Amino acid sequence: MIAEFGAFALILALAFAIAQLALSAVGRARRSTVLAAAGEGAALASFIGVALAFACLVYAFVTSDFSVANVAQNSHTEKPLLYRVAGAWGSHEGSMLLWCLALTGYGAAAVAFGRSLPRGLKASMVAIQGGLGTVFLAYTVFASNPLSRVAMPPVEGRSLNPLLQDPALAVHPPFLYAGYVGMSVVFSLAVAALIEGRVDAAWARWVRPWALAAWSLLTVGITLGSFWAYYELGWGGWWFWDPVENASFMPWLVATALLHSAIVTEKRGALAGWTLFLSLAAFSFSMLGAFLVRSGVLTSVHAFAVDPKRGVLLLIILGLTTGAGFSLFAWRAPKLAQGGLFAPVSRESALVLNNILLAAATTTVLLGTLYPLIREAMTGEAISVGPPYFNLTFTPLMATLAILLPAGPLLAWKRGDAQGVAQRLWIAALIALGVALLAYAIVSPRKAFGAAGIGMGSWLIAGAIAELVERTRLFRISAGESLRRLVGLPRGAWGMTLAHLGLGVFVLGACFETGWKAESAETLRVGQSLDVGAYHLRLDSVADVDGPNYDAERAVIHATKDGKPVCTGEPERRFYPAGGQTTSEVAICYRGPSHLYMVLGERRDAAGAPVWLVRAYWNPWATLIFLGPVIMGLGGLISLSDRRLRLGVARRRKEQPA
Amino acid sequence: MRWRAILAALAGVLCIAGSASDPAERLPDPAQEARARAIFEDVRCLVCQNESIDDSEAELAGDLRRIVREQVREGRSDAEIKRFLTDRYGEFVLLTPAFNAGNLALWGGPFLAAALGIFLLLRRLRNRSDGEALSEELSPEEAARVERLSESDSA
């Protein structure tokens, strides 16, 4: 009953999405507030329908209702509750339903928070959002229904891929999808602005909160995914330039560029066309990501819920929506005003340069991801594009961006003062240089590139602090007055400082970890040991463990440094009988920001006693790699809470004239 | 594309062999071993889903590692070893795409995109001198328009 109810709610949601599109579009054309309001009501109803369907799917997973095909294929009665719930979005069908939930949810939110939008723009936006909802809901209902039944329900389910049974991964898709799909509002606003034919500072201000929310969630989602790969795949790596990672990284890069270009459009009325282009591109890249991940056209370590046949349908959806958006752009954009003028040294120029570098970086990731497909289609030759390619192209582009970044926020609009900026940044530059030289001198083994990276991270952090010092006029006025200024800073300013600081923290961690990580592996008998970095690890015991839905061997490894005990790690090697898979659960000892990472490998029967392959990594400052992006996402959310950015604020401000 | 999917599925079954750091596979000379490991990072595990043979535990990755280590021990250069691999498995086996005509767009694309952006920026900056002079603030009309637009509750 519940599954049928959910399926029915889903079909209703589709009907409401169609109504939303039709009512809002006709309402806009006839300037009818009644029809437009009905369209908004349909948007809310569509969201409620999808939410009900989603709740039914979660219920079917929690109660292990194996008469639902999707549950039978992706769940198991012995699976812990969290993973039964997460199973609802672990499959292709479920993840598309989650996508639709986010899409209609954003549609409803745009209706609720968009009270201050001009009526015409709002009706157009709601119509476009309804169009997107129609397309994706139709796909879910007709090609990918997660609530369809099987004729002969099995007694037991086939279980979720054990690699996916992990807390970070269980919560990672909701964040990622909330980020991906948040760009849909930006897309709808851009298309609506093109239809209305007016793109100006006010429009950029309406776009920014949505872009900011989506960007922050995407940042957190990508970080969670990366952290999952770090401790679940057991290689000690955190970014593999894998197609699935790239698929989520491209919308992030575009959204980052958009956030910066939207500032120029909002403050200076310039770059309106480019900001529109990025608004369309951000959601296009999100859809491309969904297509790449779900179609299986690219081979990936993260490819789990893959279905090539339905990939074609997703490709058609992608082609239709982006094609329509960009055609409209090509038709209407040339008529847009060019906006304010600026000097070569100015905030505008700095932000344009930021956009050029981010666009080039996106091109790199796009080419690196799709070029093997293009090349194979054109010449039939298969090639691989792996991490070395990205290190040679992406890294120099981002390094350039990092070097220029601290200057940007210190430059004035229209015409900046290069000398003044240099005066404000020389201390930060000295600190960065000092840290780089220090890293080069004292960290062994000596590595020039690693030290340069450390310097760059310090430069970003010191630059962000220098910007804060500048804003509070510290050292030039009394400390108390500076403190008052610090407290009084707008949240948007805090957000920016945190985001830039977070990038610096990330660069610091990434460069330290990449430059100086140590790896060691030995086959050990119980009582034997191996050395990694400055640590001495002894395999104390290995015991059999019965998990809820797996059998495991769990090792107890004691780590010591200079003879003093440091910590105990208990890595496991798990076997999941339901799917016949083996996974390793790593143990991580947190030593300040650094990680001592231990992996229990396979058991081998040597003469006499059994031996185990034990691998250990010393990953210095690895915590910063994940902390940095979290700070960035936090910066985004703080910025989002800025009064100035909140929709509907304009109306309230009128009541208290300044 | 299909054969690769089948091979990838097969890889799941085969994921039982050791890893690159397995001491049983290791070369006795640490310098040679380090060289071999550096090469591993650039060689694709052909049956895996986008892993290098340095990361993969698949049997075929183990075989490739054995071949590479063998040749390193015989004193062959990195280039010779990579040529040996590409002769057998094609360009696909190397994770660094070759610098050749076929990959021109791949290597050139990002820098072309950056150059195009810089060109457009410079053109925009040059247009400035032909147009109106720079004023320090929004013109009164501009400011009024921004204010009007952001305050308007209805169209």
Q: What is the pLDDT of residues A394-408, one digit of tens each?
A: 999 999 999 999 998
Q: Does B149 touch chain A (CB under 8 A)?
A: yes
| A501, A589: one domain | no
Question: Does A655 map to a domain?
Answer: no
Q: Which residue has the higher pLDDT, B26 or A298?
A: B26
Tens digit of each residue's pLDDT (9 = 90 or more) over A181-212: 999 999 999 999 999 888 888 899 889 999 99
Q: Which residue has the higher pLDDT, A115 or B85?
A: B85
**Nearest CA-CA distance, residue A6 and chain B, Å:** 34
| A500, A538: one domain | no
Q: Which sign does the torsion angle of CA A258, A260, A263, A269 carry?
A: negative
A55 burial type by CB count under 10 A (0-12 exposed, 13-18 middle, 19+ buried): middle
Residues in B 45-84 with any Cβ partner in A closer than 8 A? 48-52, 55
pLDDT higher than 50, residue A415: yes
Supply the range of the domain harboring residue A449: 417-516+626-631
pLDDT at B16: 41
| A16, A135: one domain | yes
Eight-class DSSP state of B137: S
Beta bridge partners of A599: A615
Q: Could you give the angle at which helices A448-472 and A387-404 cross, rounded to 10 degrees? A: 30
| A243, A387: one domain | yes
Q: Which residue has the higher pLDDT, A342 or A565?
A: A565
Question: Does A483 map to a domain?
Answer: yes
pTM, to two decimals? 0.89
> Of the candidates B5, B107, B132, which has its C-beta nearest A341's C-beta?
B132
In this prediction, residue A243 has a pLDDT band, given cuts at 50, 70 and 90, of confident
- Token readout for A93 is 């069908």
Which stretch, A125-134, A222-231, A443-452, has highest mean pLDDT? A125-134
* CA pair distance A413, A411, nearest whole angstrom: 7
| A461, A599: one domain | no
For residue B127, give every residue at least 6 positions away whose Cβ sits within 8 Å of its Cβ, in sequence order, or none.
A341
Minimal CA–CA distance to A174: which of A55, A291, A88?
Answer: A88
Tens digit of each residue's pLDDT (9 = 90 or more) over A206-241: 899 999 999 999 999 999 989 988 888 777 788 888
pLDDT at A644: 65
pLDDT at A495: 92
Q: Over range A601-608, report the average pLDDT.
A: 78
8 Å CB contact of B23 and A522: yes
pLDDT higher than 80, residue A564: yes
pLDDT at A219: 96
pLDDT at A114: 84
pLDDT at B27: 85
Tens digit of each residue's pLDDT (9 = 90 or more) over A505-548: 999 999 999 999 888 888 888 999 999 988 999 999 999 999 88
8 Å CB contact of A383 and B103: yes
> Of the candidates A360, A379, A650, which has its C-beta nearest B102's C-beta?
A379
| A206, A351: one domain | yes
| A241, A387: one domain | yes
Q: Which residue does chain A place closest to B24, by CA atoms?
A: A523
Q: Which residue does chain B place closest to A121, by CA atoms?
A: B155
Q: Tokens 């030593």 appear where?
A: A591
Q: Does B42 touch chain A (CB under 8 A)?
A: yes
Chain B residues with CB-CB distance to A387 below 8 A: 41, 52, 95
Question: Does A188 map to a domain?
Answer: no
- Candidates B49, B100, B147, partner chain A, best to mutate (most A CBs within 10 A): B49
pLDDT at A297: 67
Question: 3-state SS of chain A: helix, strand, coil percent to 5?
Answer: 65, 10, 20
**Nearest CA-CA distance, residue B118 and chain A, Å:** 7
Average pLDDT value over all residues in chain A = 88
Question: Does A192 map to a domain?
Answer: no
pLDDT at B129: 53
Beta bridge partners of A544: A553
Number of structural domains found in chain A: 4
CB atoms within 10 A of CB A473: 12
Question: Does A210 map to a domain?
Answer: yes
Minimal CA–CA distance to A525: which of A540, A513, A512?
Answer: A540
| A244, A348: one domain | yes
* CA pair distance A226, A248, nearest whole angstrom: 11
pLDDT higher than 90, residue A102: yes
Q: Over range A574-598, report the average pLDDT.
A: 87
In this prediction, residue A326 has a pLDDT band, given cuts at 50, 70 and 90, of very high
pLDDT at A158: 75
Chain A residues with CB-CB distance to B44 below 8 A: 384, 386
Q: Could you give the angle at which helices A347-379 and A387-404 cross, rounded to 10 degrees? A: 170
Q: Does B152 touch chain A (CB under 8 A)?
A: yes
pLDDT at B4: 40
For residue A318, give every residue at least 6 positions away whose Cβ sits within 8 Å of its Cβ, in sequence order, or none.
A284, A287, A288, A291
> Of the candidates A343, A379, A523, which has its C-beta nearest B23's C-beta?
A523
Q: Tally C-beta pairs within 8 A across A and B.
A: 187
* CA pair distance B107, B104, nearest whole angstrom: 5
| A512, A526: one domain | no
pLDDT at B153: 42
* Helix (DSSP H) and strand (DSSP E) numbers for chain A: 19, 10
pLDDT at A299: 56
8 Å CB contact of A521 and B151: no
Q: Over range A70-90, report the average pLDDT.
A: 85
Which of A349, A373, A402 is the last residue before a domain boundary? A402
Minimal CA–CA distance to A413: which of A263, A553, A300, A535?
Answer: A263
Chain B residues with CB-CB distance to A161 below 8 A: none
| A210, A325: one domain | yes
- Token readout for A309 is 């046949």
ipTM of the complex: 0.80
Beta bridge partners of A403: none
Chain B residues with CB-CB distance to A363 below 8 A: 109-110, 113
pLDDT at B141: 67
Q: Over range A269-279, report the average pLDDT.
A: 90
* CA pair distance A270, A281, nearest whole angstrom: 19
Chain A residues with CB-CB distance to B117 below 8 A: 352, 355-356, 359-360
pLDDT at B12: 42
* CA pair distance A447, A145, nearest whole angstrom: 54
Question: Does A492 map to a domain?
Answer: yes
**Nearest CA-CA distance, residue A377 and chain B, Å:** 10
Chain centroid offset of residue A495 CA: 18
pLDDT higher than 80, residue A369: yes
Tell me the Ramachandran region of residue A75: left when phi exceeds 0, alpha when psi lies from -120 to 50, beta otherwise.
beta
Please, what are the averages of pLDDT over each run of 10 residues along chain B (155 residues)?
39 49 79 89 81 81 89 90 90 88 89 92 74 52 67 45
Question: Does A162 map to a domain?
Answer: no
pLDDT at A654: 41
pLDDT at B9: 41
8 Å CB contact of B117 and A359: yes
pLDDT at A296: 65
Tell me the Ramachandran region of residue A271: left when phi exceeds 0, alpha when psi lies from -120 to 50, beta otherwise.
left
pLDDT higher than 70, residue A650: no
Q: Which residue does chain B place closest to A198, by CA atoms?
A: B149
pLDDT at B139: 62
- Candidates A196, A374, A383, partner chain B, best to mutate (most B CBs within 10 A): A383
Which of A84, A118, A151 is the last residue before a domain boundary? A151
**Nearest CA-CA distance, residue A37 and chain B, Å:** 14
Q: Tokens 């923290």 appear where?
A: A505
* CA pair distance A510, A14, nearest whole angstrom: 45
Question: Does A167 map to a domain?
Answer: no
Q: Does B1 touch chain A (CB under 8 A)?
A: yes
| A364, A237: one domain | yes
Q: State percent of chain A over pLDDT 70.
A: 94
- Candidates A254, A338, A356, A391, partner chain B, best to mutate (most B CBs within 10 A): A356
Q: Which sign does the torsion angle of CA A309, A311, A312, A313 carry?
A: positive
Q: Over range A435-440, report the average pLDDT.
A: 92
Which of A402, A430, A458 is the last residue before a domain boundary? A402
- Token readout for A626 is 């994940």
For residue A374, give every residue at least 6 positions away whose Cβ sits within 8 Å of its Cβ, in sequence order, or none.
none
pLDDT at B17: 45
Q: Tokens 């993840």 appear where?
A: A95
Amino acid in the structure at residue A628:
G
CB contact at 8 A, A545 and A554: yes
| A210, A314: one domain | yes
Strand A551-561 and strand A535-546: the pairing is: antiparallel
Residues A444-457 as b or e (16 or more Cβ within 10 Å = b): eeebeebbbbbbbb
Secondary structure of residue A356 in the 3-state scheme: helix
Chain A residues with CB-CB distance to B106 below 8 A: 367-368, 371, 375, 385, 389
Eight-class DSSP state of A149: B
Minimal CA–CA distance to A156: which of A70, A64, A93?
Answer: A64
